């Protein structure tokens, strides 16, 4: 069994909260909306996390739907999560810092029974690496390094 390492680099993209996120030769921008002090130059990290989770589910769906004999005509996935901004701002000391809940809405147009689709969606959710990362939290470590 081989273990793959995924590496990213996050650094300032100029304004207060605008950051460039890089993996290999690909980049995207994260930012906060203007009302939170950002420049609205990209998704915020929560939106990006929901997109990563939904995108992972979408990819797993597309990887395996033929194996499960899903006669797929169209697929759309919407993600939504609830957060309490007052926790980060220090106004609510008893709330949860991150998402309190995350809901996935699958819009599946397929020539299959409801039971076949539900069984396959169960498979997708149990084989989505991003969902596994959230549900079964990984060991988290850190290093603090100076820059020269």
| DSSP summary character for residue 1 | -
1 or 63, which is more confident: 63
What's residue 148's pLDDT? 64
- Residues 66-71, mean pLDDT to the nearest whole number: 98
Query: What whole-number distance in Å separates Cα of residue 79 and Cα of residue 102?
Result: 7
115 and 89: one domain?
A: yes
pLDDT for residue 105 is more than 80? yes
The domain that holds 111 is classified in CATH as: 3.30.300.20
- Residues 25-53, mean pLDDT to the nearest whole number: 96
CB 57 within 8 A of CB 77: yes
pLDDT band with cut points at 50, 70 and 90 for residue 108: very high
| DSSP summary character for residue 67 | T
* Model confidence, pTM: 0.93
Q: 143 lies in a domain?
A: no
What percent of the chain has pLDDT above 70?
A: 99
Domain, as residue range, for 31: 7-42
Strands (E), the chain: 9-12, 19-23, 26-30, 72-82, 101-110
Q: How many CB atoms lie within 10 A of CB 83?
A: 15
Query: What whole-number distance in Å separates Cα of residue 40 and Cα of residue 44?
Result: 8
Q: 148 lies in a domain?
A: no
| DSSP summary character for residue 137 | P
Among 71, 57, 6, 16, CA closest to 38: 16
113 and 89: one domain?
A: yes
CB 30 within 8 A of CB 18: yes
Give the three-class secondary structure for 57: helix
Structural domain total, the chain: 2
CB 7 within 8 A of CB 22: no
pLDDT band with cut points at 50, 70 and 90 for residue 147: confident
């Amino acid at each position: 069994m081989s273990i793959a390492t995924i590496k990213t680099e996050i650094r300032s993209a100029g304004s207060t909260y605008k950051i460039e996120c890089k993996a290999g030769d690909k980049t995207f921008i994260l930012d906060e909306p203007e009302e939170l002090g950002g420049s609205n130059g990209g998704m915020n990290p929560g939106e990006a996390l929901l997109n990563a989770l939904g995108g992972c589910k979408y990819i797993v769906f597309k990887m395996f739907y033929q194996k499960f004999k899903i006669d797929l005509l169209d697929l759309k996935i919407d993600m939504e999560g609830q957060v309490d901004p007052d926790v980060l701002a220090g106004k609510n000391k008893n709330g949860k810092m991150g998402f309190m809940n995350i809901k996935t809405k699958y819009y599946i147009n397929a020539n299959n029974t409801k039971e076949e689709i539900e069984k396959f969606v169960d498979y997708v959710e149990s084989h989505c690496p991003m969902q596994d990362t959230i549900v079964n939290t990984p060991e988290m470590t850190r290093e603090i390094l100076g820059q020269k």
